[in-house]
Chain A
Amino acid sequence: MADVSPSKSLIKGVIKLTLFLGVGFAVLFILNRVLSAPTEDGYRFFPVIGSRVWVWIIAQLHLNFAAFVLGVPIFAVSMEFMSWRRNDERLDRIAYDFTKLFTLAYTLTAAVGTILLISLPVLYPKFIDHLMKILGPTWWVYVLVMYVETLVCYYYFYSWRQMKGSKKGTHVAIGGLLNIMGITMLLITSSWVGYMTTPNPHGVSETGELINRWQAIKSYMWIPLSLHRLFANVVFGAGIAAAYAAYRFITAETDEQRAYYDWMGYTSAMISIGFSLILPGIGYLLGVEIYSFNEQMGIQLMGGFFAWLWVMQAILIGAILMFVNYYLWISLNKMPGGERYFKYVKYLFIVNLLGYAVWLTPHSIALSLEEARRMGAYHPVLGSLGVMASKNTAVVVSYMATFLSFTIFKISNKEPIVSWAKLGHTIRAAVIVLSTAAAIAIGIYSYMVTSAVRVKVLSPIQFGIFFLSIIILFVLDTMMYKGAIVIGEPRWGKMPERSQYALIGITVTFTWLMAMMGYMRSGGRQFWHVYGIVKDTSPDAYLPTHGYAAVVSSIVTVIFFALIGLLFWSIMKLEKVADKGGAQT
């Protein structure tokens, strides 16, 4: 697999990308001539499933692959950097394996991207003409950056072996460049979505005329959306890497392979969950920008037609946390000394379960605004649990419990030797109890204030307390367990197979969540291609039922995992071929 020389790999990359773009433009040219002209208001119709569902599936698949190939390099390069500084071969191997994954996923990303490139101008020519009029130059910059990124990516992967040793620093720098290219691409594509959802009135007039291109790029949600995507990409990329490790663990033939892929799965899952802690904060910033663009859009997204999808989101994130906790609790078995912490598992389970129950309680059981108006009131108990005040509290407490599951796993095979260890344990308990009590107290107080105070003041304080607590706990444990007695090294590979299904569960759920949240973000525009500027007049200009959206999300996720499974299988096949040929893999 890595027997291609770096210079040849560059040629390979250019040919592949040019081929995809060439095919894309050629098919586009032919279809525009062969197909009948679009309707008067600028639409063509995709057979059987309709244009919307087709573009929905293709765009989401492309987004999933793009998230993967942009997210994984961030931590792959970070790990290579650490392996270089610490001279750690195992870290270098995992960084290489991560790189192998995203490099081979590039082809699938480009293939799906080409289908999208053909579909959009063919099915929505008028809307794409408008986008090109406003943001056209960014598309050409995007193509240029895509070429540079592909070249850097191929060179980075195929030069891995050659640049070991004295050239390692340069290789890490190439990885850094790869990430800069990736972030640039993300910023460009987010500017398109940002423009469609929250167009800047200083950039485009109400009639859709360009006033200032830079202002049009600089929409309200551009930066928060880019940040949210950046961190979500890491969460997602690490999740896919964890799924890969789980797949390899299940199909492993030797104990050495099982041990390595167990460690890879654990590392990937913890990167995924660690970065996911940042997402609510950035999601909050994104929400603030949407509200400042248009209060109604914000409220529609948070509490209008989409309100029930937040309940769905709670079900999904709660499920992810349950999978993570379950995985960590099982992992205690492989830690010498882990049995000392078994007694805490039941309490953590109860806290997580209660948090989960509150989180997914809906505010109203009414099905529509009309029905809510007729009912006139909410459920006397559940109505109180279904609001932001209680949900934020439940989220904070659930995350705290998950962090504790991680902490007990990390310290379970160690015994501190510092003289103040007893005091340290007391401080830890105090931080946990006080921060949880403070989060609950703020949650209760949130019922008594206006929504502005609740959203702008109390919610940030609540999440701030959580982050402060985990930082304190992290620093405390680092100091307390410095030079600690190690009861025994983790028995990597000694994990029941069911633990790996939990890892797969995390990734599948997260992928489904991405599909659903992507739909919500897009659906927030309601009956507009560009909100308030370009109206959607197609037969698909309506929001489908939640069930319909859920089925499409499931279809996208299953197709994505089928393609990802194909990727994993191909990697294993290529490794086997390379092993037989004696080449490096």
Chain B
Amino acid sequence: MKGGVLKLLIVVVGLNIFFAYIGLYFLPQSESRPPKETKIEKGISQDDLIAVGEQIVFSKGQCMVCHPVKTEVGMRAPAISTIGFEMEKSAKERNMKFESYVFEALVNPSAYIQKGFENMMPPIHKPPTSLNDGELIAVAAYLQSRGAKVSVSYPESVPVLKEQIDIEAKKGGK
């Protein structure tokens, strides 16, 4: 009987050690830290703005959770590598300024859904993503740079961005 209880104890402790071991040595060990706010300097060069935008797209913005880099079968959201080209085309179709269209896609994404995709993107100026004006413009610059000419700049594009944020606020989005 005592031997049985001891074996039972070994099973309980042994399994827990085994599971902890798998967690420690078979799974990747990275932490997920809260993103830091990026401050964009006034008059930042276009190349630097694009570089900052790329950094945000692949980290704080969490864009890659849904958007693949290259076109894939069954993708949830448009591929990043050609997104500037696609956005410019859509802006022309909707008779919108390219700059306004890109900002609308970021802060009021449900206003227009690309054919073949679902309405799933949240406005990224709001929590939990909460990008600030400079960060939003940097993201817009990076997206435009993927197959089109970059037309946004900081702080010159802030009024156009604010216009789209106001439209979204009046709509009372989530």
Contact = CB atoms under 8 A, between A and B. Distances in A.
Interface stretch (B27-35, B83-91, B136-144, B148-156): B27-35
B51 interface: no
Main secondary structure, interface of B, reads loop
Contacts of B33: 542
A569 to B, nearest CB: 10
Contact of B62 (A253, A296, A543): A296
A508 B15 contact: yes
B66 A299 contact: yes
A451 B76 contact: yes
A28 interface: no
B19 A554 contact: yes
B122 interface: yes
Nearest to A315: B22
A305 B32 contact: yes
Interface stretch (B2-10, B37-45, B157-165): B2-10
Given A316-B19, A454-B74, A508 B127 contact: no
A251 B1 contact: yes
Nearest to A508: B15
Interface string B69-102: 1000110100000000000000000000000000
A297 B65 CA distance: 10
A367 B28 CA distance: 5
Nearest to A558: B16
Nearest to A542: B33
Interface stretch (A268-276, A426-434, A497-505): A497-505
Contact of B31 (A451, A545, A561): A545
A508 B20 CA distance: 13
A550 B11 contact: no
A547 B23 contact: yes
Contacts of B11: 501, 504-505, 508
Nearest to B127: A532
Interface string A304-330: 110011011001100000000000000
A451 B74 contact: yes
A452 interface: yes
A48 interface: no
B111 to A, nearest CB: 17
Given A509-B15, A512-B19, A526-B128, A311 B27 contact: yes
A308 B74 contact: no
A250 B128 contact: no
A368 B32 CA distance: 10
A449 interface: yes
B1 A550 contact: no
B89 to A, nearest CB: 22
Contacts of A75: none
Nearest to A551: B20
Contacts of A549: 23
Interface in A509-568: 509, 512, 526-528, 531-533, 535, 541-547, 549-551, 553-554, 557-558, 561
A295 B5 contact: no
Contacts of B27: 308-309, 311-312, 546-547, 550
A308 B28 contact: yes
21 contacts: A201-B174, A247-B8, A251-B1, A253-B1, A299-B66, A312-B23, A370-B58, A373-B69, A449-B74, A497-B4, A500-B8, A504-B8, A508-B12, A512-B16, A526-B34, A535-B127, A545-B29, A546-B23, A546-B29, A550-B24, A554-B20
Interface of B: 1, 4-5, 7-8, 11-13, 15-17, 19-20, 22-25, 27-34, 58, 62, 64-66, 69, 73-74, 76, 118, 120-122, 126-129, 174
